[in-house]
Amino acid sequence: MMTALIVIDVQNDFCPGGALAVPGGDEIVTGINDIMSQYDCVVLTQDWHPAGHSSFASSHDNAAPMSVTEMPYGPQVLWPDHCIQGSQGAAFHPQLNTNPADMIIRKGYNPAIDSYSAFFENDHKTPTGLEGYLRTRGLSDLMMVGLATDFCVHYSAVDAAKLGFTVTVRTDLTRAIDFDGSLDAAQTEMRNAGVTFI
């Protein structure tokens, strides 16, 4: 079996000091670097929003960050402005080794729709192209690490499992926002989809 390491959104804005910092987000970087050589393929994902993205609270009148609004594709958390294209916040953590990456996939660049998953935008229909890349490379098993466990890792893992990949999440190499019980809910949904945790 060919296995890919999917490194999700290890970017400055998701690490301490960033616009949407995940507690301990920087603690996983060394561990991720250490395991890259163990995999047949390494894919990095990168949140890549245009300024004024519709998922930003600042794009909605009187909306508070972390509030939820209804979008045409369903409920959407309104985030602080983060990972704006070309910004320092959108850059990978400076200690993350990007050299082994076979592919970098950018998501969330459509101003009208957010994209948590590495496989689909939040309408759950518009593909990013990652599935096709993995299948043409013969990669059937996926190991997922990165940020944040309860959002982008969660949605990526569930989508991958639904697409028929064998999916494992390294819990020691992920960190969560844990927004209003989101971590427990995400872990339950991942388990129900057949995702394995180690």
The catalytic residue positions are 9, 107, 152
Cα torsion through 162, 79, 55, 67, rounded to 10: 90
3-state secondary structure the chain: CEEEEEEECCEHHHCCCCCCCCCCHHHHHHHHHHHHHHCCEEEEEEECECCCCCCEHHHCCCCCCCCEEEECCEEEECECCCCECCCCCCCECCCCCCCCCCEEEEECCCCCCCCCCCCECCCCCCECCHHHHHHHCCEEEEEEEEECHHHHHHHHHHHHHHCCCEEEEEEEEEECCCCCCHHHHHHHHHHHHCCEEC
